[in-house]
């Protein structure tokens, strides 16, 4: 019993102390031994933790210090770099501004230069154009033609219309109809006078009487053979203008040829009077007007030259594919091509008869001598060539026995022919007709 209680008492004593310790701890904030031990234990752990924390903090602080140092370095470097960047950017901006200003200046200079080039180019073009215009005007005036740069077609047409109305009241008309007024630009009818700032242009418009229809004829002398002589009625170049309405005629020769000499002159100025009184125009006039033979003989004479063993053939074209052949030879032949078939035949005629041969060819005929072409085919064949092949012998009217023979030169269809030459040929014409003969002596080369 005693041991049990003794054990109980001891046990309760401890618990009571602990209890009271807990109670004091609860009420009076008194630490018990257990708590003190625990506290001591925790304090050591806490010191260890604090030391660890200190070490960690020291390490972190060191790292932070290093980071701060590096950050400061980086900040400093960044600041320097930013400054460099700022300086570079400022320099770049300044350079760009300078470049832009310089580029703007260059562009302005370029634009100004281009403007100057364009201005100089336009000035040069205008100068060239003006020079070309002036040259064109001078050239037209030098050729006595209307300068179209000054006198436009509308102006010319209106002026011609006014002129036409004015001259019609006086019985005249324009030589060139108004509907062909552009032809006036190609005629030498202009005279120009130049001053420093003006040009005076005078145009001579050709006019004619309403009752006039002029036709121009030219005398073409041809050679005739008589025995061994070649004869010709010589005449200087002469034209005869015939008014087919009233039969009026004008002789144009000598100095008159400077105003009428086709094709050298584009226009033919017909004089009011035939002032040239030389023999040759009188001869042509007498022949053309079909004067009596004795009158013709007063003005016309033959020039004859003796030919000894001379086989030269004289060929003269007197119309469209129409030729006068003097002194023909037996070696002549005609070559014709029909439907791609070529045929050659001898020219059959009496080679001893006097006069000349008038031969007319179609387009596909040729005249040969010993296979050598004397008269080639006409090319191109003219549309107005309606010729048929014909061969005729022609005599001067002075060599005939028919003293009253009349030939109308204006009527081309009129033809007088004889089948027998001896009926009309006057073998003694040399004794009756004025002439002179020249003997042509040719030395034998041997």
Mean pLDDT for the chain? 78
Q: Which among 359, 314, 351, 309 has a CA at the least distance from the CA of 330?
A: 351
**Burial classification of residue 228, based on how many CB atoms lie within 10 Å of its CB (0-12 exposed, 13-18 middle, 19 or more buried):** middle
Q: Which among 405, 230, 223, 398 has a CA at the least distance from the CA of 298?
A: 398
Band (pLDDT 50/70/90 cuts) for residue 297 is: confident
Q: 């324009």: which residue's tokens?
A: 174
Tell me the pLDDT tens digit for each residue of 240-266: 888 888 888 888 888 888 888 888 888
Q: What sign does the dihedral 8-11-17-21 (CA atoms) show?
A: negative
The C-alpha atoms of residue 243 and residue 298 are separated, in whole angstroms, by 26
SS3 label, residue 407: coil
List CB contacts of 324: < 8 A, sequence separation 6 or more. 222, 223, 315, 316, 317, 318, 356, 357, 358, 394
Output the pLDDT for position 5. Answer: 40
Tell me the pLDDT tens digit for each residue of 65-81: 777 777 777 777 777 77
Tell me the pLDDT tens digit for each residue of 300-353: 888 888 877 777 899 999 888 899 999 998 889 999 887 788 888 888 888 888
The C-alpha atoms of residue 138 and residue 114 are separated, in whole angstroms, by 35
Q: With contact defined as beta carbons under 8 Å apart, do 290 and 314 qualify?
A: no
Instruction: Please state, in angstroms and as integers, the Cα–Cα distance from residue 36 to each residue in 32, 43, 44, 397, following that order.
Output: 6, 10, 12, 185
The C-alpha atoms of residue 268 and residue 263 are separated, in whole angstroms, by 10
The C-alpha atoms of residue 4 and residue 10 are separated, in whole angstroms, by 10
List CB contacts of 174: < 8 A, sequence separation 6 or more. 160, 163, 164, 167, 205, 206, 207
Q: With contact defined as beta carbons under 8 Å apart, do 147 and 137 qualify?
A: yes
Whether the per-residue pLDDT at 124 is higher than 60: the answer is yes
SS3 label, residue 356: strand
Q: 């050239």: which residue's tokens?
A: 139
Q: Kindly give the interhelix angle for 33-142 and 2-28, rounded to the nearest 10 degrees.
A: 40
Instruction: Please state, in angstroms and as integers, the Cα–Cα distance from residue 80 to each residue in 85, 88, 94, 374, following that order.
Output: 8, 12, 20, 111
Tell me the pLDDT tens digit for each residue of 47-59: 776 677 667 666 7
Output the pLDDT for position 200. Answer: 92
For the entire predicted model, the pTM comes to 0.58
Tell me phi and psi for residue 369, to 5 degrees. Answer: -135, 115
């Amino acid at each position: 019993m005693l041991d049990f209680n003794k054990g109980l008492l001891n046990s309760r004593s401890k618990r009571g102390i602990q209890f009271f310790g807990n109670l004091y701890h609860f009420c009076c904030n008194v630490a018990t031994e257990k708590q003190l031990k625990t506290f001591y234990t925790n304090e050591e752990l806490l010191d260890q933790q604090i030391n660890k924390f200190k070490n960690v903090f020291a390490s972190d602080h060191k790292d932070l210090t290093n980071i701060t140092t590096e950050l400061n370095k980086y900040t400093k470097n960044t600041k320097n770099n930013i400054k460099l960047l700022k300086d570079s950017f400022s320099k770049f901006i300044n350079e760009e501004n300078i470049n832009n200003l310089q580029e703007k200046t260059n562009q302005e200079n370029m634009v100004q230069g281009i403007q100057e080039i364009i201005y100089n180019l336009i000035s040069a073009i205008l100068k060239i154009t003006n020079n070309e215009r002036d040259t064109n005007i001078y050239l037209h005036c030098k050729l006595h033609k209307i300068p179209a740069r000054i006198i436009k077609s509308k102006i010319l047409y209106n002026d011609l219309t006014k002129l036409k109305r004015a001259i019609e009241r006086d019985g005249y008309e324009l030589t060139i109809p108004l509907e062909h007024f552009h032809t006036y630009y190609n005629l030498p009818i202009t005279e120009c006078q130049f001053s420093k700032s003006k040009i005076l242009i005078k145009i001579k418009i050709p006019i004619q009487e309403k009752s006039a229809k002029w036709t121009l004829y030219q005398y073409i002398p041809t050679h005739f053979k008589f025995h061994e002589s070649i004869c010709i009625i010589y005449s200087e170049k002469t034209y005869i203008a015939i008014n087919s309405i009233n039969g009026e005629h004008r002789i144009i020769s000598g100095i008159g040829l400077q105003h009428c000499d086709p094709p050298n002159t584009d226009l033919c100025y017909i004089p009011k009077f035939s002032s040239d009184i030389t023999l040759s125009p009188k001869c042509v006039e007498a022949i053309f007007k079909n004067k009596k033979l004795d009158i013709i003989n007063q003005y016309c004479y033959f020039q004859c030259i003796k030919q000894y063993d001379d086989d030269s053939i004289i060929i003269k074209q007197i119309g469209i594919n129409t030729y006068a052949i003097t002194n023909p030879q037996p070696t002549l032949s005609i070559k014709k091509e029909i439907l791609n078939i070529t045929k050659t035949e001898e020219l059959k005629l009496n080679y001893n008869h006097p006069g000349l041969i008038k031969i007319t060819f179609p387009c596909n005929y040729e005249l040969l001598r010993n296979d050598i072409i004397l008269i080639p085919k006409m090319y191109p064949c003219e549309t107005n060539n309606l010729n048929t092949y014909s061969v005729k012998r022609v005599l001067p009217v002075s060599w005939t026995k028919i003293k009253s023979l009349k030939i109308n030169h204006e009527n081309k269809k009129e033809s007088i022919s004889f089948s027998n030459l001896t009926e009309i040929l006057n073998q003694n014409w040399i004794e009756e007709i004025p002439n002179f003969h020249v003997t042509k002596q040719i030395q034998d080369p041997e």
